[in-house]
């Protein structure tokens, strides 16, 4: 612990040198900045709010901020099709004016798979001198049921296709369509798929499986990137946390149970800490300083809505060829500091797969049982499940 305190103090000195002295978050509304001088810069830290209670919003507002296709197979080996060019159902995304954006899972009548969606922000987000805190907020409803694995998360990559380096214009869904059927997720980088995971980090804000209504907050990083301390409990955990069954299980806070996965969720990302919040559906989230207000102020929020917080620490862990997978060590070769980069926000729902499938039941055949269920007795229960987005935003939170 003494060594970790020294490392933490050294990290604080470095951050102070880079960003200035730290202090409590202020509620000042972010000052207007000059327009970015280049197209590439305009795609970084592009803050936005989509409040679907506003009946004037259209699909073009969604397209401005999100890709709505993923032209690759599911990285979690779920039984879904994210590639819109291969969808058999054409009504997966439905914007109901003044109510919300509905994102559906629908059975494919010809095979054992389901059409599903994976929304990814076009902008990527980074912390820097002018952006020392970034707040991600979602209000809405997630599906819940056996075999179902919905997620709201942030993922990063250092690859050119992800960050638009050497790209002459903004990438569109139509550009992604050209990748349909071209390679696998692990060898086909794109604006929505980084093949260098977890070299730039991942933050899972909502994950729940099999209708448990238990919310998991998890961080994935390279072995030599980050250690963590969750909820001031004193235990230091590496955020690769390699296990024989999963080469990057990540590090996690305390799972918490909700009546149903709906309400308002928020994640505040800072250079040395990440906080996860939850309000029930009847929470007064639009009041002054609340997560849906014009000027969110996290330091005013009460302890009961703070579900997990993690202190990010530098680590002395190295990539071990016996403990870690070869691909993990090669992806992580240059990721030697606890810095998350180029994060994009993602909404998706998969079925069964590596986690929900393996945890479907307590038998050795859990994954196969899950797959049999979703195309058998559970098919109608899974068909037409949805994520409803009532509100989503990314906001810069200033520090004095």
Compute the average pLDDT of residues 383-398: 97
In this structure, is residue 231 part of a structural domain? yes
Residue 157 belongs to a domain: yes
For the cut 50, the answer to whether the pLDDT of residue 345 exceeds it is yes
Q: What is the mean pLDDT of residues 338-360?
A: 97
| Token pair 């238990």 in the structure block, residue | 214
Residue 17 included in any domain: no
Tell me: pLDDT of 375 over 80. yes
Q: What are phi and psi of 340, to 5 degrees?
A: -90, 140
- Band (pLDDT 50/70/90 cuts) for residue 33 is very low
Q: Which of 17-26, 52-61, 166-175, 370-379 is predicted least confidently?
A: 17-26
Q: Which residue has the tokens 């003494």?
A: 2
Q: Which pLDDT value is given to residue 245?
A: 57
pLDDT of residue 399: 66
| Higher pLDDT among residues 137 and 38, named by residue | 137
Q: What is the pLDDT of residues 101-126, one digit of tens each?
A: 999 999 998 778 999 999 999 999 99
Note whether residue 276 is domain-resident.
yes
pLDDT tens-digit map of 43-99: 999 999 999 999 999 999 999 999 999 999 999 999 999 999 999 998 999 999 999
Q: What share of the chain has pLDDT > 90, as a percent?
A: 76
C-alpha to C-alpha distance for 120 and 84, rounded to whole angstroms? 14
Instruction: Kindly state whether residue 363 falls inside one of the protein's structural domains.
Output: yes
Tell me how far apart the alpha carbons of residues 188 and 72 are, in angstroms, rounded to a whole number. Answer: 8
Domain holding 76: CATH number? Answer: 2.60.120.200
d(CA 257, CA 260): 8
Strand partners, 335: none
What count of residues does the chain have?
Answer: 400
The average confidence (pLDDT) of the chain is: 88
| Least-confidence region, from 38-47, 298-307, 324-333, 376-385 | 38-47
pLDDT at 325: 76
Contact predicate 19/132, CB 8 Å: yes
Please check whether residue 399 is in contact with residue 22, taking contact to mean a CB–CB distance below 8 angstroms.
yes
**Does residue 243 have a pLDDT over 90?**
no
Average pLDDT over residues 24-43: 47
Domain interval for residue 342: 36-396
pLDDT in tens, 135-185: 999 999 999 999 999 999 999 999 999 999 988 888 999 999 999 998 889
22 domain residue, yes or no: no
Contact at 8 Å (CB) between 133 and 19?
A: no
The position carrying tokens 């397209």 is: 63
Q: What φ, ψ does residue 110 adopt, rounded to 5°?
A: -95, -10
- Report, as an integer, the average pLDDT of 335-353: 96
255-267: per-residue pLDDT in tens? 999 999 999 999 9
Contacts 24+ apart (CB under 8 A), 245-252: 246/354, 247/324, 247/325, 247/327, 247/328, 248/198, 248/220, 248/328, 250/202, 250/204, 250/218, 250/219, 250/220, 250/221, 251/218, 251/219, 251/226, 251/310, 252/216, 252/217, 252/218, 252/219
Domain assignment present for 41: yes
Looking at the structure of the chain, the number of domains it has is 1
275 lies in some domain: yes
> In the structure, what pLDDT confidence band is assigned to residue 29 with cuts at 50, 70 and 90?
very low
The residue to which tokens 């952006």 are assigned:
131
pLDDT category of residue 309 using cuts at 50, 70 and 90: very high
Query: pTM here?
Result: 0.90
pLDDT category, 400, cuts 50, 70, 90?
Answer: low
Q: How confident is the model at residue 15 (pLDDT cuts 50, 70, 90)?
A: very low
């Amino acid at each position: 612990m003494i060594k970790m305190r020294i490392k933490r103090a050294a990290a604080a000195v470095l951050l102070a040198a880079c960003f200035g002295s730290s202090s409590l978050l202020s509620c000042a509304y972010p000052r207007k900045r000059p327009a970015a001088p280049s197209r590439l810069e305009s795609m970084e830290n592009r803050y936005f709010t989509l409040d679907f209670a506003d009946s004037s919003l259209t699909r073009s507002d969604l397209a401005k901020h999100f890709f709505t296709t993923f032209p690759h197979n599911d990285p979690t080996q779920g039984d879904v099709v994210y590639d819109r060019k291969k969808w058999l159902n054409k009504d997966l995304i439905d914007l109901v004016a003044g109510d919300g954006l509905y994102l559906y899972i629908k059975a494919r009548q010809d095979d054992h798979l389901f059409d599903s969606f994976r929304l990814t922000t076009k902008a990527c987000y980074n912390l820097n001198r002018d952006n020392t805190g970034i707040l991600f907020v979602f209000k809405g409803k997630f599906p819940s049921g056996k075999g179902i694995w919905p997620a709201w998360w942030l993922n990063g990559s250092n690859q050119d296709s992800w960050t638009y380096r050497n790209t002459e214009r903004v990438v569109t869904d139509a550009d992604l369509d050209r990748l349909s059927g071209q390679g696998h997720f692990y060898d086909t980088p794109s604006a929505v798929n980084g093949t260098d995971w977890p070299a730039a980090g991942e933050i899972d804000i909502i994950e729940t499986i099999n209708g448990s209504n238990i919310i998991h907050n998890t961080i994935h990083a390279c072995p030599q990137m980050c250690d963590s301390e969750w909820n001031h409990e004193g235990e230091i955990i590496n955020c690769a946390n390699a296990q024989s069954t999963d080469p990057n299980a990540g590090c996690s806070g305390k799972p918490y149970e909700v009546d149903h996965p709906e309400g308002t969720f928020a994640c505040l990302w800072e250079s040395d800490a990440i906080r996860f919040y939850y309000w029930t559906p009847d929470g007064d989230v639009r009041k002054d300083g609340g997560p849906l207000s014009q000027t969110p102020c996290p330091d005013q929020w009460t302890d009961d809505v703070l579900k997990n917080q993690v202190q990010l620490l530098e680590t002395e862990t190295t990539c071990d060829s016996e403990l870690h997978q070869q691909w993990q060590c090669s992806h992580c070769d240059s990721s030697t500091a606890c810095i998350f980069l180029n994060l994009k926000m993602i909404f998706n729902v998969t079925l069964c797969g590596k986690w929900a499938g393996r945890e479907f039941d307590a038998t050795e055949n859990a994954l196969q049982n899950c797959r049999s269920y979703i195309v058998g007795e559970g098919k109608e229960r899974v068909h037409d499940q949805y994520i409803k987005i009532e509100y989503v935003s990314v906001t810069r939170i200033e520090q004095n």
